[in-house]
Amino acid sequence: MVEAYVLVTSAIGKVKEVAEKLQDLENVENVRVVTGPFDVVVLAKAKDLSTLTNTVVEGIRRIDGVVNTDTAIVVE
């Protein structure tokens, strides 16, 4: 199992909409709207790195209103 925190920056006025769409994605365990340099923090869990990568690239980054992502893979 591979886990990662995906830090999402959304377009202005789209934070709630983005957060709702993120919750519907496969391999997304938790979604939190936060303050600071990022708008949403996502905990993603997948069976392997390839599946996790696909979740970020083909899932999260394709959501309308997602401007940028930074992914921190859990190592310990």
2-73 CATH: 3.30.70.920
Domain assignments of the chain as residue spans, ordered by start:
2-73
Token reading at 39: 């708008």
- Beta-carbon contacts of residue 10 (< 8 Å; ≥ 6 apart): 18, 39, 40, 65, 66, 67
Q: How far apart are CA 28 and CA 16, in angstroms?
A: 16
Question: What single DSSP character describes residue 40?
Answer: E
Q: How far apart are CA 23 and CA 8, in angstroms?
A: 13
Q: What is the pLDDT tens value at each position of the chain, 76 positions in all?
A: 999 999 999 999 999 999 999 999 999 999 999 999 999 999 999 999 999 999 999 999 999 999 999 999 999 9
